[in-house]
A and B are shown apart, each in its own frame.
Chain A
Amino acid sequence: MLRKVIVGLLVSLVFLIGVPLQAAEFPTKEVQVIIPWAPGGATDLIFRALAATTGKYLGKAVVIINRPGAGGAVGYTEGMRAAPDGYTLTSAVTPLTILPHQVTTAFTYKNFDAVINVVSDPSMFLVRSDSQWKTLKEFVDYAKKNPGMITVGNSGAGGGVHLVALAFEKAAGVKFNHIPFSGGGPSVTALLGGHIHAVSVSPPEGIEHVKSGRLKIMALFAEKRFELFPDVPTVREQGINFVMGMWRGLIAPKGTPPDVIKKLHDAFKQGMDDPVFRKNARDMSVNLHYLGPEAFEKLMAHDHEFFGQLVKEIKK
């Protein structure tokens, strides 16, 4: 008897409280940012720094989650599938517009809403300071004579810096041996240990080691020289017309309410302008480059077309 009463009570309880409560003011819990690469890489470092300062303005902590694998495809697939409530963002980096051309992915940039662009960085090749090649010319000449012999690490097959290296091959008329690692951290470590000849990265990866003199910049694919290393010429100055870089921003799953996006955008913008983040960014020698949601969406659309062309040409 008692049993029946209790079961009845429980059932009615379930139905009574079955009405979902209205959502409180966003954000009511911490916001997660998916990084589709291993910890210690450029994207990871930048967004960890940004997450720290943004937390203050958002009112809730911003938590970084690493979902490495398959040049970013694992993280983007998960980010795309997350609920469009603004609590799960994904870091959008150039490969987002490259991967869909190379492998069959479930996502393109169109599956996301742009939130903010934070950084645009030039790409570069690093070598060890005791490398056998002193100048870019020696490096390229050696590569021409010995096609496929120089090993160049990248942060994942089909990822941004891998494609940069492939595009540079084409521009310089050489052929490298590309070795994929699971992020910029591991590939720089392999270069430090002398297991590969060079590594394709973008700042801040390896910058601390360039500062300390263990690594040096062999090729800088930028419009202009680094503020931090004014002695390092760009490849364009040395006769190879090649400029390429990476942008890094934040995106939310498609269908996130515009007012939530606005709140997120404003908080991250404030986090970007925070003096602590500014100083961190300068120390990492990353190039801050703010874009609002519309402009960032346009940038992604443009690069999606651009890389589509490039991948087609390279695959030929």
Chain B
Amino acid sequence: MKRDEIIVGIVIFIFGGITAAVSLRMPIGTFRMPGTGMFPLLLGILLMILSGILVLRLFFQGRQIRVKSEPSGESLGSPVQLILFLGTMVFITLFFNQLGYPLSSFLLMVALLRILGVKRWTLNLPLSFVTAVVSYFVFVQWLQIPLPKGWIGL
């Protein structure tokens, strides 16, 4: 656990470093007339300092003292479920404009429900269908929000 926390700290340290490095390529200006890059440069350096302190503190801290805020999420489910869940969201977003809103919402519901273990299609499909129809009527018909129409043209 502790080693992972140190790795997270180092990742944030690197992020700060990249920020500072990219800022250096912008005009920095002077303290009296700060330029575009001044503010992000300072931020990047500050983030490196803070994450540096965190990492060092974790490193020198004995195993007996734990960080005040305890990382959560002890009981984990299968990562496959999480990856499939995320993948579905990415897929729908990729083709959101092409699929159009009603079809996207239907497919999203079908897939996510299946992934989370709603195995009975007689429950899954009607539920997804009703959700898609209701949200279509609320957002597109009633609130007149220009959601993508896609292939179906609805």
Contacts and interface: CB of A to CB of B under 8 A. Distances in A.
So, do A and B actually touch in the complex, CB under 8 Å? yes
Given A29-B144, A29-B146, A30-B144, A18 B151 contact: yes
A20 B151 contact: yes
B125 interface: yes
Interface string A161-199: 000000000000000000000000000000000000000
Contacts of B151: 14, 17-20
Contacts, number: 18
Interface string A84-115: 00000000000000000000000000000000
B111 to A, nearest CB: 11
Contacts of A20: 151, 153
B152 interface: yes
A18 B152 CA distance: 6
Nearest to A14: B151
A264 to B, nearest CB: 17
A96 to B, nearest CB: 23
B139 interface: no
Interface in A1-59: 2-3, 6, 14, 17-21, 29-30
A103 to B, nearest CB: 11
Contacts of A29: 144, 146
B121 A17 contact: no
Interface in A258-302: none
B144 A2 contact: no
Nearest to A60: B144
Contact of A17 (B125, B146, B152): B152
Interface of A: 2-3, 6, 14, 17-21, 29-30
Interface of B: 103, 121, 125, 144, 146, 151-153
In the A-B complex, list the 3 residue pairs whose CB atoms are closest, starting with the nearest: A21-B153, A18-B151, A17-B152
Given A6-B125, A14-B151, A20-B151, 15 more contacts: A2-B121, A3-B121, A6-B121, A14-B103, A17-B151, A17-B152, A17-B153, A18-B151, A19-B151, A20-B153, A21-B153, A29-B144, A29-B146, A30-B144, A30-B146
